[in-house]
Amino acid sequence: MIIKARHHFFIYPFFQRFSLRLIRRNFREVIMYGDYTDKGKPVLLLSNHTGWYDGFWAMYFNIIVLRKKFHFMMLEDQLRKHWYFNYTGGFSVRKSSRSIIESLKYTGEILSDPENMVLMFPQGKIHSSYTKFHVFEKGISRIFEEKRSNIQLIFMANMTDYLSSKKPTLYIYHTEYTGTDHSREAIQDAYNRFYGSCLEKQEQITD
């Protein structure tokens, strides 16, 4: 059985406030590039996975831009260790297990409600932000099998640079995937093209 997401009346809003405060305290500024239009649909947010801050960056982006109920997939052993994340929208997945099918089905159930969003790191593990090619884990296309016309798929890429400041600037790039092909390969290729354009933009910023 997977651990299903919960939103505790105190822990969830505390996590939202903590995320905002954490980023405002530790980053010089946050700069966003991209357009988002709320189409009244649930959002599946696919992001690069670079380190400890990733979930907080996604929460910040959700509070400022998406304004949905936050959910995210997390490895079961880590969710049991950090149990409080379950009360902020975290639900479990076990790799190399049949339970991953249950987790993906549950993701689809969450995305049946237009007020919800789900954060996923489709590459499955941490990579450098300078990685140019991301390989997605299998299974993501299952989410779209029955709900492909009812989900907004948003790509997000997070990058940081210090330049001449003591604190880094956080750059959040985002775009909507509007393709009709929801296979893993198609989404992966589209994300890599998006990510490549983000790296090019980042190079121009830091020149």
pLDDT of residue 99: 77
What residues does each domain of the chain span? 11-206
pLDDT of residue 25: 96
By three-state DSSP, how is residue 163 classified? coil
Q: Token pair of 18, please?
A: 């903590």
Transcribe 2-56 into DSSP letters: -----B-TTHHHHHHHHHHHHHHHH-SEEEEE------SS-EEEEE---STTHHH
By three-state DSSP, how is residue 102 classified? helix
**Nearest to 152, CA basis, from 34, 33, 37, 59:** 37
pLDDT of residue 73: 92
pLDDT of residue 190: 96
pLDDT of residue 98: 74
Angle at 118 between CA 149 and CA 22, to 5 degrees: 145
Cα-Cα-Cα-Cα dihedral sign, residues 64, 200, 135, 124: negative
* DSSP conformation class of 177: E
Whole-Å CA distances, 89 to 86, 94, 144 = 6, 17, 21
**Going residue by residue through the chain (207 aa), what tens digit of pLDDT does each one get?**
899 999 999 999 999 999 999 999 999 999 999 999 999 999 999 999 888 899 999 999 999 999 999 999 988 998 999 999 999 999 998 876 677 888 988 999 999 999 999 999 988 777 877 788 888 887 788 887 755 568 999 999 999 999 889 999 999 999 999 999 999 999 999 999 999 999 999 988 866
pTM attached to this predicted model = 0.94
